[in-house]
Each structure stands twice: as structure tokens, then as C-alpha cells.
Structure 1
Amino acid sequence: MDSLAAAVVAGAPAEELERLPVPDRYPAAHLRVEDAEMFKETADKDVRRSIRIGEVPMPELAPDEVLIAVMASGINYNTVWSAMFTPISTFAFLRSFGRQGGWAARHDQPYHVLGSDAAGVIVRVGAGVRHWRVGDHVLVSAPYVDDQDPLTHMDGMLGIDQRAWGFETNFGGLAHYAVARTNQLLRKPAALTWEEAAATPLCAATAYRMLVGERGARMKQGDLVLVWGATGGLGSYAVQFVRNGGGVPIGVVSSEEKAAKLRKLGCDLVIDRHDIGLVGSDLPDPAEVGKRLGKIIRAEYGEDPHIVFEHTGRATFGVSVFAVRRGGSVVTCGSTTGYQHEFDNRYLWMRLKRVIGSHGANYQEAWETNRLISQGRIRTALSVSYPMDETAEAARLVQENKHVGKVGVLCLTPSEGLGVTDPELRARIEDVAPYVGPR
């Protein structure tokens, strides 16, 4: 650990952090361009083969950026996609970005530092930074937007050049240091540890936009909401937003262990995917599975779901379109089981259903989500943390869907449980609503 990182870990004041030198190189979980073809003829694209831990060069800081000493990060499915070099090589993203020239050219490197979540301490600020200071405790929101694009000012996620930080850009959060734009920064919730806080920005804000934000499904009180993968990172936050907003969460899981955790989280109805015929990787008959699913839900509530929270993709999308009620909405933000979806369009058009595409969250939505987390109204979905040296094992866990909630990575923080700056608030939150999440 270099002297600057050591000072951050020791809790040194801002004045000391400003005096200490920034290292020329730093440890990071990264991919190498020479490995980009390694899975070309391989069925099992085991990410433990492609993710490396080693030193990379320190990038120069742009005027609107900050350098963050990363205390903790997390695994998202986009890290798995990057490490599999599919569906598009991670280096194709970096080359495309680099062709813009200027500061973007830094991102086109023969290595890619991964990670779309981070919690840490600002150790340097660019010349144009106004509202952030060295020593601030921050989170990084994943959307990486161009503030000179007119569409960005209407909705950051509509900007033509919007990218996912650490996935479509370099210098991400699975490292000792990360580079982020100021319009990605959030205040770290004072009641959370470093690893708990790092588990919140991407998945929680994505779920917020899908369900609560005005651009998503706009859930209202009493709505039945079917959540696929309800104990995963996205699903765990979705269940909480539904419950807190007066809706009725209905979760689908793959094991009794996950079902037990989901009931503790407050899910009203838990359905095992095996009970509705979703077994293995074969594409099911959407109508048959949808009928079984609908029968279970109607037996409990007497009606079909108003909203389906969809991110698993090919294996479930046809079922989602079939199962959602007349006039209902399927809101989708991903396709972990495949991008080519098949569904019977008659159920969409003749029953006036809607499909809503949703991606990430704009800066205001991220702030609103972080406010709810800071108040303890939404609890972290963290389930387990790995040391940074074991990032590849952590990513493999997510790749094989053997996890619940969010999988954290300890970067600079030496152990779990550190980083709480308001223990009284944490105690009050626990007294009101003891944590019952994926742990």
C-alpha cells in the first residue's frame, strides 16, 4: 500500500492527504487486451481466467474529475460481461470512447480497470471541481454522461454519449484508486460501512428508476409487482421499493434457501421457479409457464400483477408479457439470460400492455435513492464481501448465480465493519427496523 492510500486508511485529515504524493501505479482488478480471444472456442467463459489483479498506470485527472481512494466496491453483472468479452469486447467500448480524442483518449488502453460501484475518499480534485473537496467520503453513481449534450439536461440517461462507468469506460472501482466525474458523486451514507455503502449506487438506483421514478412503471399503492430474481442485487432493492411504496411484492427465486431470505425481506408471496416449470436453460413455453404463474398469484390475490420487474431476459420475458395484467407494464433493464426475446405479440397489443425500457438512473434519481438509503428506509443488499485479491472468485459467484443480494469487494479497507461515521444514527435505524436483508 502506498503512503497516500495508507494515510486514507488511517483516517488522516485532508491537509495530510493533499501533501502526500499520488503513486504512479496502483493495484487493480483488470482485463488485458491480449486475453480478449481466450473464450472464443470455450463453452464455459470462466471469468476467473480473465480477471487479473496487478498494478496499472495512474491516469491523469481531467478538470471535472476527482481521484478516489476506493475503500470498497462491488460486483455487478456488467463486470461478468466484461470479463467474458461478450456480447461485445470490453476493449471495443474503450476504443470507441478513445476515438473522441481529448480526455477520452486516456480510456483506450491495453488494460481495463473494472467496477461500476465504489465507496471511498476523495484524494485529488480537478481544476474545475467546485462542490467537492479532498477528504470527502463519497459513492460513485455508474452513469457516465456528457454534460454538454442537450439531452443530458432533460434526462442523463437519454444523452447520446451516456456510458456505464467501469464497463464502457476505464479506471473503474475494483481497485485502490478510481477516477470519476463530479456529476457521478454522492455523499456516502454516514450509518453504513464502506462495503455496505458500495453495494448501493448502481442496483438500488436502477430499481428506483424502474419502479418509482416518473420514467419507469410509476408504481402506486396496492400494485402487485412480480420481481424475477428477487434475492439478487436488483431484486432485493426492488422488493424493498415495492414494499415501502405500498405495493405488494411477489418474488420468484430458485431455491428454498433464497425463498427464506426473501420472506425475511418482507416479500408477500414467494414462488419457486421450479413450481412453474422454469427448469434449466431450455426456453419454456411462455403461455404454459404464465398460466401456472398466474394461477398461483390469482389464488393468493384474486388478480394478475400490475407490473413485472424484468431483468433476466430471454428465459422469462415471454412469460412476463403473458402474465402481466391487461393494461399492465413490463419494465426491463437487462437480459442476463440472453438478449433475443420471444413473446406472443397478441398479448401485448390486444391487451394494451406496455414494455418499458429502463437503464441505470439519472443523477437526480441517484440522489433520491441515496437519500432514502441514508435515512435507513432502504437497506443495503450486501450479502458477502471478498478481499480485492479474490475479485475473480467474487465475479464467478455472480456469473454462476450462486449469490444472494450484492457481492462486495474490500479494496483499501482492511476489514468489514469500518467506515460508519454516525454510529448513533445507525443504532436508531436498527432500533426502528432491524436489518433483515440478504445476509
Structure 2
Amino acid sequence: MQSALSEAVIAGADAAELEALPLPDRFAAAVVREEDIGIFRSVEDKDVRKSVFVEDVPMPELAPDEALIAVMASSINYNTVWTAMFEPVPTFQFLRQMGRNGGWEARHDLPYHVLGSDASGVVVRTGSSVRRWKTGDHVVVSPAYVDEQDHDTHQDGMLGENQKAWGFETNFGGLAHYAVVRASQLMPKPAALTWEEAAVNPLCASTAYRMLVSERGARMKQGDVVLVWGATGGLGAYAVQLVLNGGGIPVGVVNSEEKARILMSLGCEAVINRNDIEEGDPTFLQRPEGWKRMGKAIRAVVGEDPHIVFEHVGKKTFAASVFLARRGGTVVTCGSSTGYDHLYDNRYLWMRLKRIIGSHGANLHEQWAVNRLISLGRVVPTLSRTYPLADVGDAARSVQANEHIGKVGVLCLAPRTGLGITDPDARARIDERRLHAFRG
């Protein structure tokens, strides 16, 4: 049963009514439990449906620099999958570290972890030091949880020693009816989008932006050939759009004709089906003969080697990425979904003057830049399917098993899809067909 505040949010109540209603004592949230850390020992298939549960949890107290968000929708990121697998380390280690810091961070050290690093929703409370946001604001949430008192944060928010990924390295994440966020994580919700469309963008779109466009990433320029692994996945589909917007030439790697058609609908003309390269051998791209076949396929579709390789797959592709980048080229990496222990031939790196750039998340300025592009319709959401919060385990499993295309959304307080649009004229200008590109 919904609380009076939740019902008022769903009904679109104004700020005065939201402020007058009491906060619920408890709320529904997707959690993993500390007591379950060992359930996957000696198990090959670490099925996250066995470790993610929706439970009622206590409402946490709000710090002065925080806001409480009534979450209308969220999404699944691969860090949710890692959390639910308790790999590479159980995230309760992060929560215990926060607890040792004391103060407001001690709240995070709990025997359950509320998951989720994306959210769209409505501000229902603000802490005493919050100035730029107020109750009733429609917002999306950046996952960058930074330490404003660390001097390195003021050079780049991602450099601060205590920078964390909200909902992964902190508690009270977005896969819940309510979420606790710092005011420095908030951005205005794109008015043309539904709640679920707005929720899927912040983490992946901003990560791709920093990797490709930011001066801290690969600094893509017009005419650059960019190889994008997993080009219809959560990260890759935003990368393809950003390459096209910047005058680059994306070469998208997919594993089905359906995914190839989606890329072409976005304007990506150079598409390589990985199955044609591997021919049934999933280890082929980890060997020199596989690298060479992929290089030949890239040259067949664009006539030259890539200036930039957009890398996030990890163990299965990293050696190929280092080989495939042209002389003086760049491999930019933000993750390793198939494994962190990369093995590559270093001769192709040093003798051909290539660079590897590590990239992690995005600072708030980069987040706002890509959120503006989404608001303008220059980048469209890659939402393919939406699940209710009650089925969050199935949603996470679809990402774990790589059964998804684009991003997988989760409805939290929103009772159905299609709600939350406050500027239908802007939506018409963007074109409904583009907004539904990943939903068939």
C-alpha cells in the first residue's frame, strides 16, 4: 500500500502539498543482503535473481546537503549486476568504509544495500543547506557522489580520493521508491521524456561523453573513425550517437542482424557482426588471427584503421583493441564486464605510439553537458524494455545474461510507462520514432 506522500507524488501534487505530507517510515527498495554474501561460492551461474530482493526498508535521515527523491523510475547498470554477484568484492566493504568515516556517512553501513545508480523523480525534501533545488522539482540523478572538501575534486570531480558511484559504493540508491542523493548530483529532468526514458540516461550517456568528447577522454574530432564494441548496449549506443554528433565515423560491433538494423536507424552505416568474425569461437578475438580478421573487416567498411577504440568489454576484447587502434591511436576504457585481468601484446602499444586512457563516470559539468544534449533531442534514450520494481531481479538478470539491447528501465513509483512528459511540443520535434528506436 502506497503512503499518502507517494500517492500525492504520483498524482502530481504541488510543492505545498508535498511539504505538508509526512514522510513514510518505510519504503520499498531493491536490496542485497549481507547475510547472502557466500551464496554463490562454487556456483558457476551466479544468477542475480537469487540475491536481489524487494523489501521495505526504514526511511533514512537526511543530511544538510542532501535531497530526498521520490523515484519514479530507475534502470539497471552493470554495477548492479556486480553488486548482486558480490563481485569483484562485496559492496558491503564500501559501506563499512563509509561507516568508519563517521558523521552522516555512518548511516550507509547497514546489513542491506539499496541498489541503483540511475533515477528520475520528484524532490520531496531538501536538507537545510540545499539552495538550488526545492520540493516539487522534476530531476534526474547523476551517479557521481563526490567529496566537495577534497581539493582534487575542484580540479575534476572524478579525481577526488573519496569519489564514489552512488548506489554501488553508497547506500540508498535509485532502485527504490525513495532515494537519498547529494544536491550536487541533481539535474533537471528533460521535459520531453517520460520518467523511464529520463531514468536510463545519466550513468551511461555521461560515461560515454567523458570517454569520447571531454578533454579528459579521447578528445574525438571530426572525421575520427571510432570502433565501438557492444554498439547497441547501454554504453555503446550512446557512444555511437555522440560520434555521429561530433562528425566522427562510428564502426559499431554487434552480434545480431536485429542490432545491426537498430544501429543503421541511428545513422551508423558501418556495422560489423561479431559472429561473422568469430564463426562460433568466442575466444577468437583474444588471439592474433582474430585481431587481424577484425582489422580487415574494419578496413572493408571504412577504408582505414580506427583513431579511437571505445573499450568497456574488457578481457575478451582488450588485446584486440590495443592491436586495432591505428598508429598513434587511442584506446579509451571505462570498465571490464568480461573480466579485469587484461592480457595484450605491449609491442603494439609502445612501438606504434598508442595511448590507453582510463575513464570513470563523469563529473557534474560533463553530466550537465550531456543532459542538455538529451533535452535538445540530439541524443536519444536507448531504453528497450521496462520492468516493474517487483521484477527487478528479472531485469538485472537480462543484463547479466546479455539478453538486452540498449538500457533496461525499472518503474519505481510510476504506475505505468508513458508518464512524466511536461513538454509534448518538444517531444514532437524530437520525433517519437527516434525515441522508440530501441523498442522496435
Q: Normalised by the size of structure 1, how large is the TM-score?
A: 0.98
Q: Cα deviations across residues 6-44 of structure 1 (Å, max 9, x unaligned)?
A: 100000000000000001110001011111111012111
Instruction: Quote how far apart the aligned CAs of 1:286 are.
Output: 3.5
* Cα displacement string for residues 324-344 of structure 1 (whole angstroms, at most 9, x for unaligned residues): 100000000000000000110
Matched residue, 1:139: 140
For residues 147-158 of structure 1, what are the structure 2 equivalents within 5 Å? 147-158=148-159
* Contact in 2 for aligned 1:152/1:159 (Cα 8 Å): yes
CA contact (8 A) 2:118 2:199 kept: yes
| 1:360-379 → structure 2 map (5 Å cutoff) | 360-379=361-380
> Which runs of no fewer than 5 residues in structure 1 stay unpaired?
none
Residue 268 of structure 1 is matched in structure 2 by 269
> Is residue 284–residue 290 contact of structure 2 (8 Å, CA) maintained in 1?
no
Of residues 277-286 and 402-411 in structure 1, the stretch that sits farther from structure 2 once superposed is 277-286
Q: For residues 368 and 286 of structure 1, what CA distance do their matches in structure 2 show?
A: 39
Q: What percentage of aligned pairs have identical amino acids?
A: 66
CA distance in 1, matches of 2:262, 2:98: 41
Write the deviation string for residues 213-261 of structure 1: whole angstroms up to 9, x where unpaired: 0000000011100000000010010000001110001011112221221
Separation in 2, partners of 1:369, 1:265: 17
Give the equivalent residue in structure 2 for 1:195: 196
The offset of 1:278, in angstroms, is 7.2
Structure-to-structure mapping, 1:5-404, within 5 angstroms: 5-277=6-278, 279=280, 281-282=282-283, 284-404=285-405
Aligned-pair Cα RMSD in Å: 1.2
Displacement of 1:429 after TM fit? 1.8
Q: In structure 2, how many angstroms separate the alpha carbons of the residues matched to 1:114 and 1:79?
A: 6
Equivalent-residue separation in structure 2 for 1:36 and 1:270 (angstroms): 41
Distance 1:300 1:80 in 2: 34
CA offsets per residue over residues 260-315 of structure 1, 9 Å max, x none? 21221221211111222275654744421121111112123221000000000000
Partner AA of 1:51 in structure 2: V
Between 266-275 and 130-139, the greater mean CA deviation after superposition: 266-275
Q: Is the 8 A contact 1:278 1:284 kept in 2?
A: no
Q: Which residue of 1 aligns with 2:437?
A: 437
* Cα offsets for 1:184-206 (capped at 9, x unmatched): 00000000000000011000000
Q: Secondary structure in 2 aligned to 1:392?
A: helix
Structure 2 gap segments, 5+ residues each: none
- The 3 A distance-change label for structure 1 pair 51 and 280 is farther
Q: Distance in 2 between matches of 1:131 and 1:148?
A: 19
Residue-pair matches, total? 438
Q: Distance in 1 between matches of 2:19 and 2:324?
A: 57
TM-score (norm. length: structure 2): 0.98
User: After the TM superposition, which parts of structure 1 deviate over 4 Å for at least 4 consecutive aligned residues?
Assistant: 278-281
* DSSP-derived class of the 1:157 partner: coil
CA contact (8 A) 2:286 2:316 kept: no
CA–CA distance in structure 1, aligned partners of residues 348 and 69 of structure 2: 49
1:119-165 superposed Cα distances (whole Å, 9 cap, x missing partner): 00000000110010000000000010000000000000000000000
CA distance in 2, matches of 1:405, 1:174: 18
